[in-house]
Structure 1
Amino acid sequence: MTLTIWVDDWQMQCCGERFAPGDVVSWTLLEADPEEYVDIVGGERAAEIDFREEHHGQEEGRTPTSVKVVSIAEVHCRYAVPEDATDKVNHPVPGTTELVPVQEADGWAKAQPGVRFAGYLVTARHVDLAEGADARGRSVP
Structure 2
Amino acid sequence: MVVQLCVWMASWQMECCGTPFRKGAEVAWRLRNPNSTELAWLDTVLHNGVAASIDAVEDHHGDSSAPLTAGAVASIATLHCRFAPEPVAGSGLVTSQVMAGKWNDDLADRRFAGFLVRILTPNPVRL
TM range (shorter): 0.7 to 0.9
2:69 maps to which residue? 65
TM-score by length of 1: 0.76
Distance 2:105 2:122 in 1: 31
The answer to whether the aligner puts 1:55 opposite 2:60 as a matched pair is yes
TM-score by length of 2: 0.84
**Alpha-carbon distance, 1:36 to partner:** 2.3
Q: 1:103 aligns with which of 72, 90, 98?
A: 98
Task: Say whether the 8 Å CA contact 2:30–2:64 is kept in structure 1.
Answer: no
Alignment: residue pair count? 118
**Alpha-carbon distance, 1:64 to partner:** 1.2
CA root-mean-square deviation:
1.6
Q: Deviations over 1:66-107 (max 9, x none)?
A: 021000000011001xxxxxxxxx221222110011110023
Bigger strand fraction: 2
Identity %: 35
| Superposition misfits of 4+ residues, deviation over 4 angstroms | none
1:91 maps to which residue? 86
Distance 1:114 1:66 in 2: 35
What are the residue-to-residue correspondences of 1:117-132 with 2, within 5 Å? 117-127=112-122
Unmatched segments (≥5 aa) in structure 1 = 81-89, 129-141
Choose 1 or 2 for highest CA Rg.
1
